[in-house]
Chain A
C-alpha cells in the first residue's frame, strides 16, 4: 500500500520560504485554488497558504540553534481530520494515502481543523470551504509533465533540496532511506496520528584537533632557518698577517 509523503531535512533548510510561495502560486491557479489574500495591500494582510515556514530558537546564547521549520499537512496515516468530517469531504485516498478535501462536499463546519493538532488546514472565508496541502495531486500523476517534474511544486522549488518526496511504505524509496538512516521523526508522536511526513534532524560535523599534530618536522618554518653558508669559518688564517 502506497503512502506518499514529504520528508523535510532540517539539516539543510535555510528558511528561504521558497516552498511557501511556490505552493501558493501553483495552487492558486490550479485545482485547489484560488487561494485568496485579504487586505493584500493594507493593514494585516492575511491569505490562505498551504505551507508556512516558521523559525524556532533552541537553547540560550551562545549555544543557540536557529531552526527553520516548514509545516504543511502531514497526511497522517491515522488522520484525525478524516473520521470527524460529517460529509466525507475530508478523505484519505486508499491508493496513495493523500488526505484531500472535496470542495463540493465541504459544508465549512471547520470540525476537521479542530481535529488537526498541527494546524495544517486553512479555511477560505470566500469559498467557505476548508483547504490544505494536496501533495500536488494534480502534478504527480500529470502525464503531460516530464517525469522529473511529477513532484509537488515545493519539492521542485526548494533550493537546498530540503524536501524529499516519495512512498514511505516502500523501504527502498529515497524518503524511507532518509528516515531510517538519518533518524527521521514525526511531529507530536504522542498523539498517535502517525504523520506520514517526517523531519530529518540536525547533525553536527566536527574536526578533531590533536595538539601534537599541529607542528610537523617538515613545517615550512624549517626552511626559514638561516643556513650555514660555508665560505670557510673564521679562523686565525684571516686575522694573522704573518
Chain B
C-alpha cells in the first residue's frame, strides 16, 4: 500500500466482535479511518479468513445508530418515548453510585444485572458476585443452556467453545439442528476440508440452508423430535452390538451396578463399597459385576471385566443391574418404527443412519502412535479413535425436551466411543471438567448479606438437591427463579424470566435492572409486546414497577428507548477486551487459547468501554476486589485490572493465561506481568499453548493431562471424569421428590414434575407447549434461525449487511399455500395460541412441510437502530417472538411456569405451534404488529441518504 506524504497508514492486529467466533483480524487504518479489515493470517482460529460480518466492521464503526453520550430520561417523559437528555459521565456514575450503594447496604438482591451475548461474563459475573447479588445471568438460559448442561452433565464438556468435532480425522459427520453461524469460520474451514478429504456429511434439520446446503444428505426432521431419532438410533446400535464395549467399560459408568430395591432409599443410586476410604473426595467406590469371577467388584479392578447387560443380586440380596442394562431397557420400545411416526423420517433412513454410524465407528478405527497413561496407572501404547463426529446446537437445545435429547446425543457419542478421541469429539480447555463442574451458587438466603460479596457464585452447577438456591419453603431466591425446584439445573440463569418476574414482584420486586448488550425489549424476549408493556407499567401510585432501568449498549437498540439511564459503550475497534479462560475461551483441541482486543481507533464521542464502567463502579462502591486493604481504589483502569487481578491473592490465576510471571515466562499460572498486554499485542493478540501430544486425547481419564491441568489451575481434581451414561445427579433429585433423599425436598406442587423429568436416563416426551396446545388448530411448528450475514439483532444498523437482509419472509412449503389458497409472496397471518403476526410468505422446498421459519431478529421496531421510520425492517420485517409466550398456559404445575425446559429452564422458543392463513387485502400493506416509531437520541449522528465510503479522505 502506498504511503504518500499526506497519508498515514496504520495496521494493527486485534480480535473481531461481529459475532462470538472471535476471529483474529488485521485492521488497516488510513488517516484515522478504518479502511480494511482482513482475517489475520497468523491467527490460529481463522488463519486469515473472515466472514461477511467481519468484513463489514467498517459500517458498524461508522453507523449512525451509535450512542455517543450518556443519557438520562427526561423528568416527565415516559419510558419507551426516547426522550433523553445528554449528561456527563460524572453525573451518570454519581447516580449509579448513590443508588447501588444504597441497594448494597440494604438488600443486595434488589440489583439485577443481565447481559446479552457478550464475552465478558468473567468480569460482569465478578462484579455481580462482589456486589453480593444473586440476580445475574448472561443470555445462555435464553439461548442454548440445554446444549451446555445436557452434555456437561454427561461427558464433562460440550460443543462450540467447550469442544467440537475433530473433522480433521473424522470420516462421518452428523450435524443436528445447527444454525448457520454457530462456531462460524473455524467450522466452515473444517467442513470444507472434511468434504474435500472425502468425508461424508449428514445434516439433520427441518430446514436446508447454510451448512446443511453442502451436506451429502439432508434428513428433514420435525422440530423437537430429535430425541426420538437419537434414542431409536441408540436402540439399533445396542441391538446390533455396534457400540464400543471397551470404551464404555473403561471410561463410562455403563457397567456400574444400580440399586434396584424399590423399598430402599437408595433405589436408583449406584451401589457402593461401604468400606471405602472416606477421606477421598471422589472415592472410586462403585461396583462392577465381574464376568470372570461372577461377583461384584470395585470398578476398574485389575483383571476384572464387567457385564454390561444382565441382572444380578448382591450378597445382601439387593437386586442390581448395570447402568447399561437400564439404558437397554429404556430404549427397548424406542424402535425405528416408533421414531419414524414421531419424526417424519422413514424407518429405513433411521436404521441406515444407525448402521452408518456404527459401521464407521467399528470398522474405520484410527490409531495414533501416541503413548499415554490413564488415571488407573495403565500405560497405553496408542490413542485410538472411532471417526464418527457430531455437532449440534440450538435446534436440539431450544425445546422443553432439549436436555434429555442432548443427554441422548451425548450417550450416543459415548456408545460409539468417540469422546475426546481422534476423529470424534474433542474437548477444548478448560474442559473436560468434573461432572458437574465445581462452582456452586449459595444454597440458601444466608448467601446474601448487605455490603458483602455473594456467598457463592451467581451461577453454578448443582450436583445435589441440597445445592439448590432456595429458601426454607423450598421457593426460589433468585429473581429469575433459577436454581429453584422449578428449574433446578438452570446453570446459565433464565434471562427470559427476569422482566416478567420483576414486574410481577414474584418472587419479589427489585429496584434496579441493569442490562448490558441485551435487547430485551425486542428479540431477546419471548412475548415481546407484553414485555414492552411491563417495562412501562406503573403501580397505582405512579411508580414504575421496575423502578430503575439502566441500559449499556453501543447502539440504539429497541431496549434503549426504555432506559432511565443509558451508558454508551464503544465498538470492538475502540477498546481493550479479553476472551478469557474464566469465561468463554477460544481454546483449540490441542490446548488452551485466550485472546484480547486492543484499541485500533480511539473511542467515538463520549463512549466509554463498558469494562471501564464496571471498574469505575466497582471502585466507587468499594467492592473488595477493586479496593486495596487500605480502602483505596486498586485499579486505574481495565487493562491494569486485567494485568493485576488474581482470583485469590497470590493464586497466580488471572483473566489472561499467557505471558504471566515477572518476565512473561509463565503461562496459566504466574505473577502479574506488567507487560502482558504488550506481549499479547505483539503476538497477534492471542496466546496459544499446545499440549504435549500424550495429553491431548482421552483427557477425561488421562493421568498426564489431569495432573497438568491441576498444576495449571484448570481443574481442581485429578480424578477421572467418567462419562455419566446413567446420571445419578438426576436420580438424586427424583429421590428428593419421592421423599427419599436427605435434605431439601420440592414443594408439593412440583413433586410430580421433578419426579417425572429428573430421570437418570434420557426419555422422549413431546415438548411441554405442544402438550398444552391444540395441535389440530395449530398444526405447524415455527422456528427461527440466524442467517450467516447477521448476528442476533446486531447488524441492521450496518449499511452493507442490511442490504443482504433488509426484511424477512416466513418460509414454508408450497403445500401450505395450496391448502390455504395463497401464493408465494402473499401477506399471511401466522398465529399461535398467544398471538398473531402479519407477514409475507415465501415458498421453499427446503423446509419440511410441517414447519414454517424465518430469520432471527431481522424484523425491527420502527425507528430503532437509527433507521428511517419506513425502513423495510419495520414495515415489512416481522418478529416471530410476538407469538411466543415466556410462560406456559396455566397447568397443574403452576399458574406461571416458564415456557422452558423443566430441568434447565432453557427458553423453549422452538416449541411454539402455529397455523398460517391468508391475510385479507384490506389488512394494509405492511407487517403487524407495528410500533410507534422510536426517536433518535441526543448525540446520535445524522443518517445520510448516501454513503460512498472512501477511507481517509476524498479520492
Contact = CB atoms under 8 A, between A and B. Distances in A.
Asked if the two chains touch in their complex, CB atoms less than 8 Å apart, one says: yes
Interface of A: 11-18, 20-22, 24-26, 28-29, 33-47, 49, 55, 57, 59-62, 64-68, 126, 142, 144-145, 148-149, 153, 156-162, 202, 204-207, 209, 213-216, 219-224, 226-227, 229
B97 interface: no
Interface in B28-53: 30, 35-39, 41, 46, 48-53
Category for how many chain B residues contact A: 35 or more
B189 interface: yes
A159 B294 contact: no
B359 A207 contact: yes
Given A37-B803, A47-B803, A215-B241, 17 more contacts: A16-B180, A18-B55, A24-B56, A25-B55, A33-B950, A33-B955, A37-B800, A37-B948, A39-B868, A40-B944, A45-B802, A46-B803, A64-B846, A205-B200, A207-B360, A223-B307, A226-B310
A138 B181 CA distance: 31
Contacts of B688: none
Contacts of A213: 359, 363
Contacts of B209: 15, 55, 66
B868 to A, nearest CB: 4
B278 interface: no
A207 B356 contact: yes
B868 A28 contact: no
A156 B948 contact: no
A126 B200 CA distance: 49
Nearest to B344: A62
A144 B870 CA distance: 46
Contacts of A215: 240-241
B52 A20 contact: yes
Contacts of B67: none
A45 B865 CA distance: 15
Given A29-B949, A37-B946, A22 B50 contact: yes
B38 A126 contact: no
B801 A35 contact: no
Nearest to A61: B845
B64 interface: yes
Contacts of A68: 213
Contact of A160 (B172, B189, B946): B189
B214 A14 contact: yes
A156 B48 contact: yes
Contacts, number: 265
A157 B355 contact: no
B352 interface: yes
Given A41-B799, A148-B41, A66 B220 contact: no
- Name the 4 nearest CB pairs between A and B, nearest first: A219-B241, A220-B245, A160-B192, A40-B799
5 contacts: A43-B868, A47-B800, A64-B846, A66-B213, A207-B359
Contacts of A34: 948-950, 955
Given A36-B946, A66-B208, A161 B192 contact: yes
Contacts of A202: 214
B813 A21 contact: no
B952 interface: yes
Contacts of A205: 195, 198-201, 216
A157 B39 contact: yes
Nearest to B241: A219
Contacts of B54: 18
Nearest to A43: B870
B502 interface: no
A61 B813 contact: yes
Given A14-B210, A18-B49, A25-B36, A144 B945 contact: no
Interface in B907-955: 943-952, 955
Contacts of A65: 208, 213
Contacts of B2: 144
A21 B191 contact: no
Nearest to B1: A144
Contacts of A35: 948-949
Contacts of B352: 209
A227 B209 CA distance: 53
B308 A220 contact: yes
Contacts of A153: 38
